[in-house]
């Protein structure tokens, strides 16, 4: 059944979702847009046949729709997600890295249970989530690891870079810049590693999912390599995503995942786990 969707955040992914609604790819209607830079939104919505409404208060956003799509970063999840669920609106999260905070995840879960709202987390730019979910549900996962390889430019602004004794942008060859749990990776690279947390939620959890991040100055793709073992066998996937020309931190596949999820909510035939 078509939904009324509102967007929390109007960057690269938010614009792609709005475009898919505007051109009819998604049957849902667009209620409103909330962004911390409303002037930027006013300029960007001119491309659409029907200009969406811009709101400046969260209660206006939740009043305009029954499903809020968050595409604004981890800080927005921490600030607004609970109030969205409190309003009774369903919530689709793109910045799932915020859920590495166990207390926040528990708060969101209990709020959703109390209000009857649903939380959706699309697969994003990684493959193999269905297989990981299936193996996890039958207790057949022993280990899960993710190796992410990106051009150093994709890591610009990541807090973890300030702790290194070298400049990632000056690398002339591939170098491992981080190894640790998905919990730590989400805090270290909040704009780059949402895939690690969605993988963790599907499988063994953020503390038992290992993450390795490689900066490669010769790499033009955003690469995600998944390796998992267990009683069901071995799961291995590699995705070489083309980065968005407007934001190298975002892969083209990420907005496609959200659009597919929105289409699935409208459909009577559902593919995948």
Does residue 100 contact residue 202 with C-beta atoms inside 8 Å?
no
Does residue 213 contact residue 181 with C-beta atoms inside 8 Å?
no
- Residue 23 makes CB contacts below 8 A (sequence gap 6+) with none
**The residue count for the chain:** 273
Is 125 annotated as a binding-site member? yes
Catalytic site residue from 59, 107, 224, 270: 224
Closest C-alpha to 101, from 179, 180, 186 = 186
For the range 170-174, what are the long-range contacts, defined as Cβ-Cβ under 8 Å and sequence gap of 24 or more? 171/215, 171/216, 171/217, 172/217, 173/216, 173/217, 173/218, 174/149, 174/214, 174/215, 174/216, 174/217, 174/218, 174/219
Per the annotation, the verdict on 224 as an active-site residue is yes
Q: Token pair for residue 89?
A: 């609106």
Is 20 annotated as a binding-site member? no
Q: Which residues are annotated as a binding site?
A: 125, 194
User: Which active-site residues does the annotation give?
Assistant: 224
Q: Which residues are annotated as a binding site for NAD(+)?
A: 125, 194
């Amino acid at each position: 059944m078509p939904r009324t969707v509102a967007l929390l955040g109007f960057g690269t992914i938010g614009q792609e979702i709005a475009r898919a609604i505007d051109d009819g790819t998604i049957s849902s209607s667009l209620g409103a847009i909330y962004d911390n830079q409303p002037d930027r939104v006013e300029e960007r919505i001119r491309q659409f046949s029907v200009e969406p409404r811009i709101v400046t208060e969260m209660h206006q956003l939740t009043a305009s729709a029954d499903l809020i799509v968050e595409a604004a970063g981890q800080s927005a999840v921490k600030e607004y997600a609970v109030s969205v669920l409190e309003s009774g609106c369903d919530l689709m999260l793109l910045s799932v890295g915020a859920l590495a905070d166990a207390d926040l995840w528990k708060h969101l879960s209990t709020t959703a249970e109390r209000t009857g709202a649903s939380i959706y987390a699309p697969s994003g730019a990684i493959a193999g989530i269905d297989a990981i979910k299936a193996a996890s549900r039958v207790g057949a996962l022993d280990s899960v690891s993710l190796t992410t390889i990106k051009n150093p430019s994709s890591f610009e602004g990541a807090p973890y870079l300030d702790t290194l004794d070298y400049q990632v942008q000056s690398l002339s060859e591939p170098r491992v810049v981080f190894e640790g749990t998905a919990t730590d990776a989400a805090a270290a690279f909040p704009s780059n590693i949402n895939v690690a947390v969605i993988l963790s939620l599907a499988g063994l959890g953020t503390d038992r999912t290992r993450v390795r991040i490689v900066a490669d100055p010769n790499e033009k793709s955003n690469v995600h390599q998944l390796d998992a073992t267990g009683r069901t066998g071995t799961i291995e996937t590699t995705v070489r995503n083309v980065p968005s020309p407007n934001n190298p931190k975002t892969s083209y596949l990420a907005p496609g995942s959200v659009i597919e999820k929105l289409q699935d909510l409208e459909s009577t035939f559902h593919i995948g786990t």
